[in-house]
Amino acid sequence: MKLSLNICQEFSSVDLKTLSKDQLIEKINQQIGATEEVIDLGAQYQGVLVAKIVSCEKHPDADKLSLCKIDDGGANKQVARDASGYVQVVCGAPNAREGLIVAWIPPGVVVPSTVNKDPLTLEAREIRGQVSGGMLASESELDISGEHTGLLEINASDEGEELIHPGTEFKKLYGLDDLVFDVENKMFTHRPDLFGQLGLARELAGIQGLKFNSPTWYTENVKFKDAENSLVVENQIPKLCARYMAVALDGIKVGPSPTWLKSNLHRLGIRPINNVVDITNYMMILTGQPMHAFDADKISGKIIIRNPKKGEKMTLLDGKEITLDTGSILIADEQKPIALGGVMGAKNSEVSKSTTRIIVECANFDMFNIRRSSMHYGIFSDSVTRFTKGQSPRQCAAVLSQSLGLFEQLTGGKQASDICDEYVVPAKPANIDVKLVNESLGTDLSDTDVATILNNVEINVAAGGRGQQVQPPFWRTDLEIYQDIIEEVGRLYGFNKLPKSLPSRTTTPPITNKEVELKKNLRQALASFGANEVLTYNFVHGNLLTKAGQTPENSYKLRNALSPDLEYYRQTITPSLLDKVHPNIKSGHDEFALFEIGKSHNKVHSKKDEVPQELDMLAMVYANKKPAKTDGSAYFQARNYLDQLMASFGLTLEYKTVGDDMIFPVTAPFDFKRSALVTTKETKTFIGIVGEYKQEVANGFKLPDVSAGFEIGTAHILEALGKKTDSGYKPLGRYPSTTQDITTNVAGGISYREVFETINAKLTASDYDYQISLVGIYQPNKTSQKNITFKITLSRPDRTLTTEEVNILTQSLVDY
């Protein structure tokens, strides 16, 4: 959920910006929800200026370009100017003209829309023989909306004369000098009011101990105008639709919204569409109350709220045709469905450029039914997000009334019918005893303290016969019982201020879960080797599977996916890790290793019509942006991680070539000729694969040239540990060790594995403690021999080694 500090401030008579950014983040984290990201919107527009086009002439060598001279009031000191002090800019926008006030991005300034992607810094350059000092920007380039067909036209009607003179910093317009907080909404799913900027403004005041007063249009009783015409609404399912308000408007002119409205929507994650739709969305982001607009000329007769008939179909606004479930909430006219209540409108009643009459809906639907419909149809709209939190039906009148003013101001529409409305019973007051509050929280608050804390967020408190009587405001549908009130007092007071004391209780050690213990040890070991753990979704997009060389048909597809990007269960973990490599390379990390321990599911390892089998897997990917020094170094880097990991558990791995028939989800991303199957010495069974990735996989994920990894089943590791008889413990040596590199020269056809096993067997048969690792393999071009170099560390537990005996042993190893 995004919170705009500037928009919140518009609702508040007290200053919400008294705290620093860091202090505000800490308060939000402690008392509202975890802050995932803070966007300094003003920094995005650093250096962008307001300018006036003083002349606009056709480019001498290009039909579709113009030569504009602009006045920036001399604000930019680095750019080249003509004798009049104007800057020349080459422009291709069709609406460029003399006298237009525009946004100018000078040379040396980053284009705002690219700041959070691949930053593009402009420079003065020649275009068809004419030097252009920066660019004149569209709304898309300014990251205000997706509109890119022409320049942003800055009007005094939007911002006032004092802000639109040449040289003004562009960020001072449209409230763009703003901080936008992206707050994890899972922390307040029970708080419908916090899904609107008004509710968030109230919370910002409350957690700072400031008194907040909602705007009068939101809290006072609303009086609507009477009209000659009537709009007929029939609610057949009042249990599922607690309130349905609607009104008709005439004289609508559909067109683009003013820039301030598009900017407000865009920064909060809503795509501007047209002035009618944007007004309904704007009221939603302000109050949390979704609205919908129908083209009145496409509706036949009265509006009916009912359940769908069996087999009834409807095409939604996004073009998706659905067969309606009989338990859903349907908005229909006398001939056809026109909306899936609370979820999405129908294509057949959509507002278009030719619309002149609309019907505006402001309703309240059952949160559980909306949730069920959303999951059933796989539709996740902003409307669904808010309705499933339990919006108050009592705010509908205020929201509808305020929207009518915006419709008249921005579309010219006038009320053409009476307001259709059905009302609900107000919330009942609750009684709370301050003594009970203090006993529950361990505090020593007075009656006045409790009343002040609650009154700051407009929860009315008055003295009653049994303690204090609390009347929750209509937007706080989550406050139902006295425990809710106590929790609210504790949260606003600050849980971090509550006295800390340990409970007195007896404890018994838990039974060790070997699987949990193994995963913990795996994490610790890999982290100690420098690898970084990531956590990704168990669900993925079908394109991710395809890029990894896996077949989507082997994945279980979710009927009620969380989003269209998370439709499939992942078959293995490797694709999820590969998807994170390029973003990290792009962020400036040249060399790193990522790993994840998690679950995967695929149809290959599950029997038909049975519950999908969960596979516990460990995957790691190593990536290095720097060129490889030797061929195959990526493979050996990944293998080294795996060898060290298993050695820390006392397990010995064996590697085998990958046969062409080893086509499984876990092997799919890997290049069989540059990979190896992994088995353990203890079980002799296949536990996974290590190696480099196929070229098409590397290209698909934009991997650097040096990339490799492994994926193994953690259940197989547990099995190997169970069969391990030797504890692997050896006391620390009392005597010094010696380390030497040895190189063996062998025929090119002899595998590394064969050489390693022979040398390892010789060392095992000796009386020495040893460690052996690969240094490198070198085979000159057009030769039949190759050199394999090992690093060997030798010691004895009972004495210091002599040079002679070390030389004898190493020579025997060299003479392979």
* Assigned domain for 56 exists: yes
Q: Are 229 and 417 in contact (CB under 8 A)?
A: yes
Q: What is the CATH number of the domain that holds 210?
A: 3.30.56.10
Do 195 and 162 sit in the same domain of this protein? Answer: no
Decide: residue 161, CB within 10 A, 0-12 exposed, 13-18 middle, 19+ buried.
exposed
**Tokens, residue 766:** 């000796």
Burial class of 32 by CB neighbour count within 10 A (0 to 12, 13 to 18, 19+): buried
What is the Cα–Cα distance from 629 to 785, expressed in whole angstroms?
20
**Mean pLDDT value of segment 291-304:** 95
pLDDT of residue 792: 93
Is 552 domain-assigned?
Answer: yes
DSSP code string of 310-361 = TT-EEEBTTS-EEEPPTTS-EEE-SSSEEEETTTEEBGGG---TT---EEEE
Query: pLDDT band at 507, cuts 50/70/90?
Result: confident
- My answer on whether 531 and 434 are in the same domain is no
Q: d(Cα 668, Cα 687) in Å, to the nearest integer? A: 15
Structure tokens at 515: 């699987």
Within a domain: 109: yes
In a domain, 225, yes or no: no
Could you tell me if 329 and 247 lie in one domain? yes
Average pLDDT over every residue of 31-42: 90
Do 264 and 329 sit in the same domain of this protein?
yes
Domain-ending residue, one of 491, 524, 544: 491
Confirm whether 497 is domain-assigned.
no
Mean pLDDT of the chain: 90
Q: How confident is the model at residue 158 (pLDDT cuts 50, 70, 90)?
A: low
Task: Identify whether 733 is part of a domain.
Answer: no
Output phi, psi for 43, to 5 deg. Answer: -65, -25
Say if residue 24 is in the same domain as residue 52: no
Give the three-state DSSP class for 394: helix
**Which amino acid is it at 76?**
N
Phi-psi region of 248 (alpha: psi -120 to 50; beta: other; left: phi over 0): beta
**Cα 396 from Cα 287, distance rounded (Å):** 10
Cα separation, 395 vs 214, whole angstroms: 12
Tens digits of residue pLDDT in 577-589? 999 999 999 989 9
Q: pTM, whole model, 2 decimals?
A: 0.64
Q: Which amino acid is at 528?
A: S
Structural domains in the chain (count): 6
Contact 577, 619 (CB under 8 A): yes
Q: Which domain holds residue 802?
A: 738-814
**732 assigned to some structural domain:** no
| Cβ atoms of 714 and 597 closer than 8 Å | yes
User: 395 and 541 in one domain?
Assistant: no
| 456 plus 594 within the same structural domain | no
Q: What is the mean pLDDT of residues 301-322?
A: 94
What is residue 201's predicted lDDT score, i.e. its pLDDT? 94
Q: Which of 723, 755, 777 is the last residue of a domain?
A: 723
Looking only at the bridges linking them, the beta strands covering 591-600 and 532-533 are parallel
To which residue do tokens 């007051």 refer?
429
The answer to whether position 672 is within a domain reads: yes
Query: What is the spatial distance between Cα 123 and Cα 505, in angstroms, rounded to a whole number?
Result: 69
Instruction: Please tell me the total number of residues recorded for the chain in this structure.
Output: 816
Q: Which of 510, 497, 436 is nearest to 467 (CA)?
A: 436
Handedness of CA 560, 565, 571, 572 (dihedral sign): negative
pLDDT digits (tens, 9 = 90+) for 228-269: 888 999 999 999 999 999 999 999 999 999 999 999 999 999
Shared domain check, 677 and 530: yes
Burial of 514 per CB tally in 10 Å (0-12, 13-18, 19+):
exposed
395 lies in the same domain as 366: yes
**Same domain for 200 and 60:** no
Mean pLDDT to the nearest integer, 555-561: 86
Q: Are residues 590 and 568 located together in one domain of the fold?
A: yes
3-state helix, strand, coil in the chain (%, to 5): 30, 25, 45
